[in-house]
Amino acid sequence: MRARSARRKEGKAEKVIPLRFIPDREAKVRGVDGTRCLLMNDAFYTFFERSMGEFSPFFLAIRDEKKILGCRCPRCGLVRVPPFVTHCPDCDYAPTELTEVGQVGRLISTPPITYFATSLFLDRAPFGRGRVVLEGADTALSVMLYTTTGILTPGILQKGTEVKVVFRDRRLGEIADIFCVPTAELTPGQIATPGLEESELPWARARAPKFDRPSRDEVRAYRECLREMRALARAMSRSRRARSAILGWKRNIAVRTKAGEFAMVIDDGDLRIVEKKLRAPDFIMACEDPRALLDGLAYRGAFTDAVILKKIWIDKNEEFNTIFKLDRLARFLAREKKERAARQT
């Protein structure tokens, strides 16, 4: 307790709401059809000292013993994980008993992968969330799913894929203390040992791709791409709808391609393509063929999908957020053109 109080005093304790989420108390006026509309920064918050009640043994077992508990109905024999009932609703509410289950299991279906997450999970995407039936259990536990090999792409995890529970190094006693990875990415020893921790995993490091020297044709194609991207960036900066996709957002992106390097500058509604090497970019995008970038800006293909399919490499996963904004920028420009044409007809 003393240590925690001391941390609080020093302002180092993790807050239930990180400060970066909290806006300043202010208001702004937005003109809509000649009227002045007031917008107020606000929040709707309540703090809790929340009872984990009958789930306390389950969460404490995760936190303190690195074990997974379920509940067994002595009458029908069903083992439910998590142990979400103390009395079986299928057997006239017969009392259930807690039991430990295994830490390896199989996915009951192909899991979704979240690329565009809520504001609370933007820096944890992409991640999978699926349902695993652990050895000894009958029902499925909902878990976060990762791969140790880089960005999670469709196909890595499917119905029937064997996965293992991994425990976060720092645990509070909540469901986010655990996640699963495919056993195919683990050693036999790691699979066999219960209580595997996150820091024991062989996480792949992000490595920038290396390119050969470009041919003359590739240099010519690069120049042409750059010209087209500049034209699109100018159109975007003039489009009210497109600007709204990057309002309030600033990023200096170093873009490295086989035939040359340039900067993509997002500046509060403006997009600029500048031929220069940035010394301290916010992040790096690398792609061998610049046409993947041009296709993204021209709304012929999505930046997001190009990153997922490894046509475009980024050095910071959390910048997926900026990647989404670039996709939105392209879509908004295309949509504005379309709507203008529709209104004229």
Partner 1 sequence: MARRVGIVGAAVTPFRAKWYEKTYYELAQMATREALRDAGISPREVDAVVYGIYNDIFQRACIPEHPLQGVLGLPNKPGVRVSNGGATGAYAMSVAHAYVAAERYDVVLVLGVEKATDCFDFTSMSSTPEVIKTIGWSGDSFFEQKIGWTASDSYAEVVLAYMDEHPGDLKPEVTARISSLLSRQARDNPYAQRQLDQVTPEEVMNSRYIVYPFKELEICVYSEGAAAVVLASEERARAMARNTGTPVVWITGVGEANEHSFAGRNQNRWGRIYSHHVAAQRAYRMADVTDPLKEIDVVELHDAFVQQLEISMAEMGFVPPGRADALVEDGIMMPGGELAVNPSGGLLYCGHAVGASNIMSAWSCRNEMIRKGYRRGLVHGTGSTIAQYGVVLLLERE
Binds partner 1 by CB under 8 A, chosen from 57, 63, 84, 272: 84
Measure the CA–CA gap between 345 and 84, rounded to whole angstroms. Answer: 59
Binds partner 1 by CB under 8 A, chosen from 61, 98, 175, 191: 175
Number of shown-chain residues binding partner 1 (CB under 8 A): 80
Binds partner 1 by CB under 8 A, chosen from 99, 110, 149, 183: 110
Contact set for partner 1, span 258-287 (CB under 8 A)? none
Binds partner 1 by CB under 8 A, chosen from 6, 37, 204, 231: 37
Binds partner 1 by CB under 8 A, chosen from 109, 148, 193, 215: 109
Angle at 48 between CA 45 and CA 54, to 5 degrees: 140
Contact set for partner 1, span 287-326 (CB under 8 A)? 299-305, 308, 321, 324-325
Are the C-beta atoms of residues 112 and 129 closer than 8 Å to each other?
yes
Measure the CA–CA gap between 275 and 288, rounded to whole angstroms. Answer: 17
Cα four-point dihedral sign 330, 336, 337, 338: positive
Are the C-beta atoms of residues 333 and 236 closer than 8 Å to each other?
yes
Contact set for partner 1, span 196-235 (CB under 8 A)? none
**Residue 117 interacts with partner 1 (CB under 8 A): yes or no:** yes
State in angstroms the smallest separation of the CB of 219 from partner 1. Answer: 28
Question: Which span (1-9, 135-143, 198-206, 282-290) binds partner 1, by CB under 8 A?
Answer: 135-143
| Closest among 332, 333, 318 to 115, alpha carbons compared | 318
Question: Which span (73-81, 181-189, 207-215, 282-290) binds partner 1, by CB under 8 A?
Answer: 73-81
Mask for 146-165, x = binds partner 1 (CB under 8 A): --------x---xx------
Alpha helices in 208-279 (DSSP H): 216-238, 240-245
CB atoms within 10 A of CB 211: 15
Measure the CA–CA gap between 251 and 170, rounded to whole angstroms. Answer: 32
